[in-house]
Structure 1
Amino acid sequence: MRSLPFSELIRKQTSVFPLLEDADVLLERRDAENVVLMRDERYRAMDGALRIAARSLALVAKANRVMAEEVLAVELPWLVWLPPEHRSEAVTELLDDLLAGVDTGYYLPFMRNLIAWKHTAQIHTDPSLVAQLTGPFQRAEFSEVQRPGNTG
């Protein structure tokens, strides 16, 4: 993948589009999310491969849910950082999101949940941070906050 500033597309689009022959192009924007340009053929190949892989896992999950969860857990080695009682919960949630993505073609909830669980696992590598986030908490440490949007 080639990276270019978004302004490059605006100023010199005739030099950007030929780059798509050999690679996808990541357009980096300062004030918004980056944009990826790719040829339709590559996009369809990637999307088709993802759908086949996800549907295959879905078929395995329907036949043997435990096996599907084990396969997903092997693919995500950072799960070992989660406390054992939370590993199964994480794998179950991720597999459910992935199967919903197969059905809808919408995988963003899966990716958001994957990132959230990975960050949670990373937090569990630091015992002092875990202790700080899990309490106990003193009532004196709390303060009242206004409801967002409340002007009164």
Structure 2
Amino acid sequence: MNFSELVNKNKQTLARLKQTPRLLLHRRDGEDLVLTTASRAAQDQTVVSAATRMLAAIARREPGSMELLLDVLPEAFPWVRFLPEQDVHAFAVELVSTMRAAESIANTASVAQLLTAWQHTAEVHSDPELLAALTTDHGADYGAAPDPRGVV
């Protein structure tokens, strides 16, 4: 629904929130918003927290858990098939540790950023021409980059 409906018909809009866990509010001049209840947001956080704690506990305690995690990663994230083997392992370790840290502060932005960064890395590895362009030493050294804070 449009954001203006929330502003202009707030009672009807909020009544719709009782029928669905969240409403997507489209805005003309900005990023879309999601409207939900505080109790639903708390439930979502509880689920994410529980899943994160279970994954982290399994990764730390069970013998062979890292191998299991490495086996299931391609099912959860098909793009890991393009990563070199050592990068798949690094991704798995970084994912678990970042999820634990993010869960401890109830903010998943760092996990989303991590997933995006690793997916982009896989995209580079999936394209031989792009990989070569980004990893080839072109012999040019343009010196130290200037500090961007001093550039006007």
Same fold per TM (> 0.5)?
yes
**TM-score, normalised to structure 1's length?**
0.80
| Superposed displacement of residue 61, structure 1 | 2.0
- Within 5 A, what are the aligned runs for 1:9-88? 9-23=6-20, 24-64=22-62, 66-68=64-66, 70-71=68-69, 73=73, 74-88=75-89
* Unmatched runs of 5 consecutive residues or more in structure 2: none
The count of aligned residue pairs is 148
Alpha-carbon distance in structure 1 between the residues aligned to 2:4 and 2:145: 42
> Identity across aligned pairs (percent)?
28
* Unmatched runs of 5 consecutive residues or more in structure 1: none
Contact 1:69 / 1:91 at 8 angstroms: preserved in 2?
Answer: no
* Residues 101-148 of structure 1 deviation map (CA, whole Å, 9 limit, x = unaligned): 2333222111110111012112211111111111222417x5986543
Match of 1:148 in 2: 148
**TM-score, normalised to structure 2's length?**
0.80
Alpha-carbon distance in structure 2 between the residues aligned to 1:143 and 1:12: 59
- 3-state DSSP of counterpart to 1:93: helix
Alpha-carbon distance in structure 2 between the residues aligned to 1:134 and 1:25: 44
Match of 1:117 in 2: 118
Contact 2:45 / 2:106 at 8 angstroms: preserved in 1?
Answer: no
Amino acid at match of 1:57: L
Alpha-carbon distance change, 41 to 28 in structure 1, aligned in 2, over 3 angstroms: same
Name whichever of 57-66 and 114-123 sits farther off: 57-66
Alpha-carbon distance in structure 2 between the residues aligned to 1:42 and 1:145: 47
| Superposed displacement of residue 44, structure 1 | 2.5
Question: What RMSD over aligned residues (CA atoms) do the two structures have, in Å?
Answer: 2.6
